[in-house]
Amino acid sequence: MHQPSGFVDASKLDHACLLQRSLYNLKQAPRAWFNRFATYTKTIDFKQNSSHASLFILCHGSDIAYLLLYIDDIALTATTTSLLQRVISHLSFKFEMTDIGQLHHFLGISVQRDVHGLFLHQQNYIADILHRPNMIECNPCLTPTDTGTKLAPDNSSPVSDPTLYRSLAGALQYLTFIRPNIALCSSDMPIHALSA
């Protein structure tokens, strides 16, 4: 190791910096966390879904629990409250967690319960996207593009705020990737949100 440029001590050239905290392998930290979590869930009989690596399924006879992990947020549901509480206690034993209770919002998807089951929608996420460019009061249109504008070679900037444009394009792209299909869930199947 060498002293970093700008912080060289001319009187102690053979000395190096002592790091108070490791700066190396930080890119691997999410992978290490996921591997640790996945390994533990397998010890409590969860099976990792082959088509979606973040989905873990536990089957005990007719009882089933589903666990969806996104970074350090978990959506957890089970067919019985006792199985749900047992899974939460197992996870809390190994990881520092907070049980946030019934799931209302997860990854931009809002959850509403009624007598027929669960309704998943993204109304709040879409409203947030429209709020950023001050387009809340805009009227809907039949096509998402302006059919009257013609493109011409021009040296001016195509958009006034490229950062806002990129942010909106990314948000809309994310919206199209995670748009939930219409699904029916039993209303007596409680879904909990946890944060690790």
> In which band, very low, low, confident or very high, does the pLDDT at 66 lie, cut at 50, 70 and 90?
very high
The pLDDT value given to residue 122: 80
Is the model's pTM score more than 0.75?
A: no
> In which band, very low, low, confident or very high, does the pLDDT at 178 lie, cut at 50, 70 and 90?
low
Residues of the chain with pLDDT > 70, as a percent, come to 74
Amino acid (one-letter) located at 195: S
Query: First vs last Cα of the chain: how many Å apart?
Result: 36
Helices (H), the chain: 29-43, 81-94, 123-131, 162-178
The H-or-E segment that residue 121 falls in is strand 117-121
- Return the DSSP state at 115: T
Q: Is 70 exceeded by the pLDDT of residue 131?
A: yes
Q: Give the closest residue to 131 by CA, choosing from 99, 162, 175, 168.
A: 168
Backbone angles phi, psi at 70, to 5 degrees: -135, 105
193: β partners: 75, 101
